[in-house]
Amino acid sequence: MTTVRTYPIAVSVHPTREAVGVAAGALAARHLRVALERQPHATVMLAAAPSQAATLAALATEPDLEWSRVSSFHMDEYLGLDPEAPQGFGIWLERSFVSRVPSLTFNRMRVAGDPQVDAEAYASRLPEGPFDVVLLGLGVNGHLAFNDPPARFDDPQDTRVVELDDVSRRQQVDEGHFATMEDVPRRAITVTIPRLLRAGHVVASVPGAEKRDAVRATLTAAIGPDHPGTALRTHPDVTLFLDDESAPR
């Protein structure tokens, strides 16, 4: 039986989601600066969600970051939406972050054709080595990107076409992105958990009371596919930023 090596997650609790963003953005910037000191270019994987807004806003204003030497990627995209629909994750990131750091290279996922071909095409654009920094959140069901439970911790692919579970789709309605469940796409392309965690550093921003159960499971549940966030405990450098509402009591 294979034993999974585990590591403690560093947990940092702040009074508000704005304070979470300032702290998480500062840490991400510090990791990027260190990466750029030792190599010509750095890579960062981005998540697109309201939970990331404060972190990305803070990161965009960090001084002395040579964004022209940074390439960014994003971890998922809906299938079946108009390419310019405001709910799309790539366009959300362009509006919320990339437009503030115009010298940054942003590799947006294109999903206009055959989904499997598009997934493989995006996988081919990912860096050969680990990401220097991954910025992510947790879904209310604990998902990482759109790796809903039961999630594959040993997925051999870097990207995958997935069916979204109803909890994930309901979250999109509850966050105000779609009016009804019927409006939410049923499929997406996601970067897989093994590829997300092939990274130097993981910075997780998870504010909000609706995420408290997912946070608790991530920190305490048995590591396994029913709680995708528990995969974070298999990475040696994860910092989890919480606000007072998301921190387990």
Whole-angstrom distance, CA of residue 205 vs CA of residue 239:
9
| Fold type of domain 10-243 | Rossmann fold (3.40.50)
User: Cα 44 vs. chain centroid, distance in angstroms?
Assistant: 10
Span 146-196, pLDDT tens digits:
999 999 999 999 999 999 999 999 999 999 999 999 999 999 999 999 999
Percentage of residues in the chain having pLDDT higher than 70: 99
* Alpha carbon distance, N-terminus to C-terminus of the chain: 35
Q: How many Cα atoms sit within 13 Å of 26 on the Cβ side?
A: 8
The pLDDT of residue 2 is 61
| Residue 69 dihedral angles phi and psi, to the nearest 5° | -105, 10
Q: Where are the domains of the chain?
A: 10-243
Cβ count within 10 A of residue 70: 21
- 113 pLDDT band (50/70/90 cuts)? confident
Which amino acid, one-letter code, is at 86? P
Q: How far apart are CA 135 and CA 89, in angstroms?
A: 14
Angle at 107 between CA 106 and CA 109, to 5 degrees: 130
User: What pTM does this model have?
Assistant: 0.96
For residue 121, pLDDT beyond 70? yes
- Give pLDDT, residue 10: 98
